[in-house]
Amino acid sequence: MTPAASDSTPDSIDKAIAGSLLGETERAFLASRRVAHLATTDADGQPHVVPVCFALAGDSLFISIDEKPKRKRTGRLKRIRNLLDNPRFALVADRYDEDWTRLGWVMLRGLAEILDSGSEHHQAQALLRERYPQYRHMQLEDLPVIALRLSTVNSWGNLEPSP
């Protein structure tokens, strides 16, 4: 439904042609993180950041809108409204530790697409249910999935998976 044209840089295009944007170390680090933070902007350019649960498949990352209580009771959530108006996103998964030799993060940027139905929506919900047992008892079938299509990947620090 969204996005429009990609804003990939030449470097990210070269990486996409050569293979996955995510290296194995970054992919393993993301797999070890249970929560990431999704940043979007509203129509006035104000940032909006929320913690999210996610599942990774290839160079796409999926986030379900679930049944947990939200501040907005009716209509679409702010993150969805923001992404429909401007599909650009940033997402950070990080690790903080009092031992600063263990600090690390992966930042993903790209364009988001809202999936309301279809095979990719169904597959994304299955991946999320596999990763998060809490989703197995929720009625997610009619709820949207945010598909994050990666265009750039940046990382820093110790990305070894947590013990």
What integer pLDDT is reported at residue 77 of this predicted model?
87
Residue 4 has pLDDT above 90, yes or no: no
Each residue of 59-69: pLDDT tens digit?
Answer: 999 999 875 55
* Boundaries of every domain in the chain: 12-138+151-157
pLDDT (tens digit, 9 = 90+) per residue, 111-125? Answer: 999 999 999 999 999
The top-level CATH class assigned to 12-138+151-157 is mainly beta
> Over the stretch 64-94, which tens digit does the pLDDT of each residue have?
987 555 555 556 889 999 999 999 999 999 9
pLDDT in tens, 100-159: 999 999 999 999 999 999 999 999 999 999 999 998 888 888 889 999 999 999 999 999
Work out the pLDDT band at 16, boundaries 50, 70, 90: very low
Which of 11-20, 41-50, 141-150 has the weakest average pLDDT?
A: 11-20
Count the residues in the chain: 163
Torsion of CA 92, 55, 57, 150, to 10 degrees: -30
| Strand 60-64 relative to strand 55-57, pairing | antiparallel
Q: Supply the pTM of this predicted model.
A: 0.82
Q: Strand 60-64 and strand 145-157: pairing?
A: antiparallel
